[in-house]
Amino acid sequence: MSERNTAYRSLHDLGIATWFGGSLMGCVGLNGSAATVGDTEMDTARIASVGWKRWTPVNAGAIAVHLIGGAGVLAANAARVKNQQGVAASTVAKMAVTAAAMAATAYSGVLGAKIELVSSPEPSHREKAAKHPVDVEHARKQLAVVQWLIPALTGTVVVLNALHGEQQRPSQQGAGMIKKWAANLL
């Protein structure tokens, strides 16, 4: 049976909760509000960019906290991952989905930065945008998809975390370890 790892579990869960909740709120609340109050498409893009830019450091912190917590939980449960049937597979799936969520988050930031440059009233931003032309409509379409992909992926991490919690029940641990042991004998 596993020992308590409350600090790591808390970091893991608070990090993913913040990442999931913030991305969902941004898609629904921030983007929706920007679309409501923006007079033009560029106005809407600028308003949304300002909000997402303010969220970025908090989101980066949430991701870091989640990864630190996840690494701690994984280290504490290494024997269970190795010896209990099904745990390694769900761990690999969770890591792959987390990596996809990180990639989507990074790509969202790249697209958002491009749109911010084009929509900014700052002369220095306009100069940068002129040096590196951006197909704004294409970037917006991609950003709309990627921003919704982030809560879908982080929500999947939450579901996989629930599966890990179920796999940690004593009855699941014992049965899973016996199945793995029996499979190794064959």
From the CB of residue 105, how many other CB atoms can be counted at a distance below 10 Å?
21
Is pLDDT of 174 > 80?
Answer: no
Q: For residues 25-52, b (16+ Cβ closer than 10 Å) or e, as one string? A: ebbeebbeebeeebeeeeebbbbbbebb
At 168, which amino acid appears? Q
pLDDT band at 1 (very low <50, low <70, confident <90, very high): very low
pLDDT of residue 98: 98
pLDDT tens digits, one per residue of 28-69? 999 999 999 999 988 899 899 999 999 999 999 999 999 999
pLDDT of residue 179: 66
Distance CA 128, CA 118 (A): 9
**For the chain, what is the domain count?**
1
Here the tokens at position 50 are 């300002």
Task: Name the percent of the chain lying above pLDDT 90.
Answer: 63
Is pLDDT of 134 > 90?
Answer: no
Considering the domain boundaries, does residue 160 fall inside one?
yes
Considering the domain boundaries, does residue 186 fall inside one?
no
Considering the domain boundaries, does residue 65 fall inside one?
yes
- CA nearest to 142, candidates 118, 112, 116: 112
Considering the domain boundaries, does residue 185 fall inside one?
no
Is pLDDT of 171 > 70?
Answer: no
Considering the domain boundaries, does residue 1 fall inside one?
no
Domain that holds residue 48: 6-180
Mean pLDDT value across residues 96-114: 96
Considering the domain boundaries, does residue 59 fall inside one?
yes
Considering the domain boundaries, does residue 53 fall inside one?
yes
Which residues, 6 or more positions from 168, have their beta carbon under 8 angstroms from its beta carbon?
2, 77, 80
- CA nearest to 115, candidates 183, 22, 169, 48: 48
Long-range contacts of 25-29 (CB under 8 A, 24+ apart): 26/51, 26/52, 26/55, 26/147, 27/147, 27/148, 27/151
Considering the domain boundaries, does residue 15 fall inside one?
yes
Mean pLDDT value across residues 90-118: 94
Is pLDDT of 167 > 60?
Answer: yes
